[in-house]
Chains A and B, each alone.
Chain A
Amino acid sequence: MKKGYYGQWGGAFIPEVLQATFADLNRAYEAARADASFWQEYVELMGNYSCRPTPLTYAENLTRHLGGAKIYIKREDLNHTGAHKANNVMGQGLLVRRMGKKRVIAETGAGQHGVATATMAARFGLSCTIYMGEEDVARQRPNVFWMEKLGATVVPVTDGSRTLKDAMNEAFRDWVSSMDDTHYVIGTVCGPHPFPEMVAWFQSIIGIEAHRQILAQHGRMPDRVYACVGGGSNAMGIFQGFLDEPGVELIGVEAGGLGIDTGKHASRMVEGSGATPGVAQGYKTRFLQSAEGQMLDTHSIAAGLDYVGVSPILADLGEKGRVRFASATDREVIEALSLAMRTEGLIPAMESSHAFVQAIKEAPTMRQDQAIIINMSGRGDKDIFTIAHAFDDPSWKEFIVKRAEAYR
């Protein structure tokens, strides 16, 4: 098969001006991949800087509450900066150091990947520019605050729908003039080759650990593994630990928004989503787009899932039937988040709560000797403004009003 393709999906649809940059990146990536000491350095860095290996927590109370399969939770929330995003940025940071580049740029939606990239840049002594849709800058002030405090420049993007995809376009526009000293740290398993493959490689650390951990704790493979899917990096991360185990069912959970039939969602893989094959942002996948190929606005309560495309690798695994897709609505997400907090004292991010929704639906239908893993890709407590807003919490609102008054 052609390089960078997964079935009919993927590729590298890049302007000619970036051809040489991608050739260099491919060389650096392939050399790193062939060098066992690179991976070792990466694992050591993540152990020393980001709490790896993250635990696989047996959710005893939630298991009892639902009365079916044993539920294990992979704790990517315990990474530094609070999500699996750290795995990818630290890996790419090591690669940037090898390539000798001095500056990194990144796109960010809600700001998680932006904060992770700014953190990596600070740690590696790189200068850093983050592109973020104007609308997201307004909605996610706390993350903008952290990026700036970490030394990054945050550029609000005022074009298009002023969200994640527009930030990605703008980062590309920076890169076509700055590529000599700049690396573009794409945050997910999307974009032109080698990004999907490379980001999936860095995130595979999740699945490698989970495979070992479930064997140690449960004595055998799990029956099902659940992960939320925006671009798809946390899902690819954990799925890779089980792709070669035919008995393990893999379930990707997309953003159902207000409901698939309302059209206000960000699901690309589930039946009825309306997504069709297309080529944008440098790769071929299923996009939410018009019949003529113009990208549509998407909706999700979780900014990290609010994206028009999906990983070409997951598009292929879905098409082949290796990964089953489901979707969770905004309302279901809030309920699952509440249940996780009350039964286990865990605070999954809104994105990760999508995976909880589907697991909570299915666990009671399974036998007690079966086991499932939920990938908790990030923690929610750092998103207090977003989550408190979603809960429409009266005392929180009162606090914000009082604080605002004090700042007047």
Chain B
Amino acid sequence: MSSNLEQELKNRLNSKPILLMTHLVLGYPSLAVNREVIRQMAANGVDCIELQIPFSEPIADGPVILKASQESLKNGISVEECFTFGQEMAAHYPAVRFLFMTYYNIVFKYGEEAFLRRTKDIGFCGTIVPDLPPEEGQTYLATSKALGLAPVQFFTPTSSEERMREVAAQGAGFVYCVARRGVTGQQTTFDDNLDHYLARCRRATDLPLAVGFGISNRADVALLVGKADMAVIGTATIKLVDAQGPEAVGPFIAGL
């Protein structure tokens, strides 16, 4: 099924060799800093931004995002604030495609349909829920599609081609290709195996391929040109903001 997001990304690929998606943990270190970071990301032409709504048990995330989520929760971030902030960002930066990333319990407690409807209403284009495999997410997938939202699915190095085809058929927007095993933020060595893996991913779907987990510099991004459609910058910007403040984000993104 083709969604608005899929078409939009494909259009952008006509004029750029590779797209960029960045990631933030909402409320870390604060919504004010998030706001500044997003401003700089948008100014430097980021295509998609995933905003992570913190959850107390983030099993797919490594130490950096885990700590950020905990800090944010300790400072009292709420799901309601995440929606309000997301709405403000989507209105401010119409050229950027925004998605929520979170764990299923956050969606479940809000009410699956209510969560997705609100996500659509505030101008977001999809959701990324790493602990909701398609087997458990049938109503989530159906509701997302009915609303025109992209329920982004995952490929991993352990996925068989059969599994990839099965998963891709249920997703929309793009496929999030996890470049290596493990949790977010670990270093990836890009080698021939990655080429192999991305070729397998490409064969399994027509959806744009976003490659994430561990990309941190220009060379990493350049390596993906021609093999994938979108590079995902996750923990690298969180570490950068921690070390050098939000003003370092603009030059970093521009340098990719």
Chain A residues packing against B (C-beta within 8 Å): 11-21, 159-160, 165, 169, 172-173, 176-177, 179, 276-282, 289, 291-295
**Whole-angstrom CA separation of A169 from B63 in the bound complex:** 11
**Whole-angstrom CA separation of A294 from B180 in the bound complex:** 28
Taking CB as reference atom, which chain B residue is nearest A159? B66
Q: Could you tell me the distance in whole angstroms from the C-beta of B129 to the nearest C-beta in chain A?
A: 9
Q: Is B181 an interface residue (CB 8 A)?
A: yes
The answer to whether A293 and B154 have CB atoms under 8 Å apart is no
**Whole-angstrom CA separation of A279 from B57 in the bound complex:** 10
Q: Is B191 an interface residue (CB 8 A)?
A: no
Q: How many A-B residue pairs have CB under 8 A?
A: 107
Taking CB as reference atom, which chain B residue is nearest A276? B109
Question: Could you list some 10 contacts between A and B, CB below 8 A?
Answer: A14-B133, A15-B59, A15-B133, A17-B156, A20-B160, A21-B158, A160-B56, A172-B59, A176-B60, A176-B182
The answer to whether B109 and A291 have CB atoms under 8 Å apart is yes
Chain A residues, CB < 8 A from B154: 15-17
**Whole-angstrom CA separation of A19 from B130 in the bound complex:** 12
A12, A177, A280, A294 — most chain B CB neighbours (10 Å): A294
Q: Is the interface of B mostly helix, strand, loop or mixed?
A: loop
The answer to whether A292 and B110 have CB atoms under 8 Å apart is yes
A12-B135, A15-B154 as given contacts; A294 in contact with B182, CB under 8 Å: no
Chain A residues, CB < 8 A from B159: 16, 19-20
The answer to whether B109 and A292 have CB atoms under 8 Å apart is yes
Chain B residues, CB < 8 A from A20: 158-160, 163
Taking CB as reference atom, which chain B residue is nearest A278? B105
Q: Could you tell me the distance in whole angstroms from the C-beta of B103 to the nearest C-beta in chain A?
A: 8
Taking CB as reference atom, which chain A residue is nearest B167? A16
The answer to whether B181 and A177 have CB atoms under 8 Å apart is yes
Report B152-189 residues with CB < 8 Å from chain A CB: 153-160, 163, 167, 178, 180-183, 186
The answer to whether A293 and B131 have CB atoms under 8 Å apart is no
A176-B181, A176-B182 as given contacts; A294 in contact with B155, CB under 8 Å: no
Q: Is B252 an interface residue (CB 8 A)?
A: no
The answer to whether A16 and B57 have CB atoms under 8 Å apart is no
Interface string of B69-109 (1 = CB under 8 A from A): 01001000011000000000000000000000001111011
Q: Is B222 an interface residue (CB 8 A)?
A: no
Determine which of B70, B105, B160 lies in contact with A280 in the assembled complex, contact meaning CB atoms within 8 Å: B105
Q: Is B225 an interface residue (CB 8 A)?
A: no
A16-B178, A19-B158 as given contacts; A278 in contact with B59, CB under 8 Å: no
